[in-house]
Amino acid sequence: MRIITACAACTLAFMAVPAAAQAPRSADIEVVSFAGPKSVPVGRTGTFVATIRNNGPSATMSEDFIAALSDLTLFEPVSLKVPGGTCQLSLAPDCALGPLAAGESAQLTAVLKATGDTGKKDSFRLQASRNGAQISEPSPPDVTNNTKRVEDVLITPSPFRLKGTAAKTQTITRLRATYTCTEACTYVAQAVVKVGTKKAVSARATGRLAANVRKTVTFTFRKSTLRALRGMKGDAFLDLTAKNVLGESLFAGPRVRLKR
């Protein structure tokens, strides 16, 4: 009985040692790359991708490290994503990285919207840092590898364009113009006729234009207007306003001469 009791005590003592002597965790997090488009049209978004690697020696747990975006002046974040982690935009845009084994990498994807003026450039950075005291960095810490910058992203004009063409001389009963949008858009069209001091406005025409497909719009007037203006010389402005899915609005108004 004494031998059994002694062995039981040894077993209890042996089990208590590892918990007390557990080595602290440490990891070196490196931002390997951070890149995206060299230019982004105003009002549009660009996708920038960073690769973040755990150089070890320990595995990291969820939220041991965070990666934060900073120095954004002409861009604003639309979304941030990292597999296995959590991201937020409300304060400083950043992501708490998910668990990474030693030598494992994660990709952070940032979608940024160009809000500055056309022709200007912006530069910004992504920095990874330790979050709290649950894990340490190797001693001495390597602070040279936890930041990457994207330099001089140019804000270019919007690719949305609208073109309107019309015959230079037309009769008021057959006023028409052809319009083309470089992107799918909706339109509102209305002709304005000026003859001396008289002014007449056509009925409004609405519809959709497919991208880069020409559409001819015909402008119609009330019979009373036609009777009043028929046979008189003047100008007609064939106005059309187009709007794309982003809410960008453009105007085209070819001018034509009325003939008798």
Nearest CA to 72 out of 128, 149, 143, 147 is that of 149
What tokens were used for 9? 């005590």
pLDDT tens-digit series, residues 83-127: 999 999 987 899 999 999 999 999 999 999 999 999 999 999 999
- pLDDT higher than threshold 90 for residue 229: no
Q: Is the pLDDT of residue 149 over 60?
A: yes
pLDDT at residue 181 tops 80: yes
Confidence of residue 26 (pLDDT cuts 50, 70, 90): confident
Q: Answer whether residue 221 shows pLDDT above 80.
A: yes
Q: Where are the alpha helices (DSSP H) in 70-158?
A: none
Residue 14, pLDDT > 80, answer: no
18 pLDDT more than 60: no
**Residues in contact with 211: Cβ distance below 8 Å, sequence separation at least 6, in sequence order:** 181, 182, 183, 184
pLDDT of residue 156 exceeding 80:
yes
pLDDT tens readout for residues 124-147? 999 999 887 778 877 776 778 999
pLDDT band at 22 (very low <50, low <70, confident <90, very high): low
Round to whole Å and give the CA distance between 121 and 152. 5
Q: Note the pLDDT of residue 137.
A: 78
Which residue type does 124 have?
Answer: F
- pLDDT value of residue 23: 65
Summarised one tens digit per residue, pLDDT across range 46-62 is 999 999 999 989 999 98
| CA–CA separation, 221 and 208 (whole Å) | 21
pLDDT of residue 62: 87
User: For the chain, what is the mean pLDDT?
Assistant: 89
Whether 256 and 174 have beta carbons less than 8 Å apart is answered as no
Q: Which two tokens stand for residue 149?
A: 């910058």
Q: Quick check: helix, strand or coil at residue 84?
A: coil
Indicate if the pLDDT at residue 248 is higher than 70. Answer: yes
Q: Give the chain's length.
A: 260
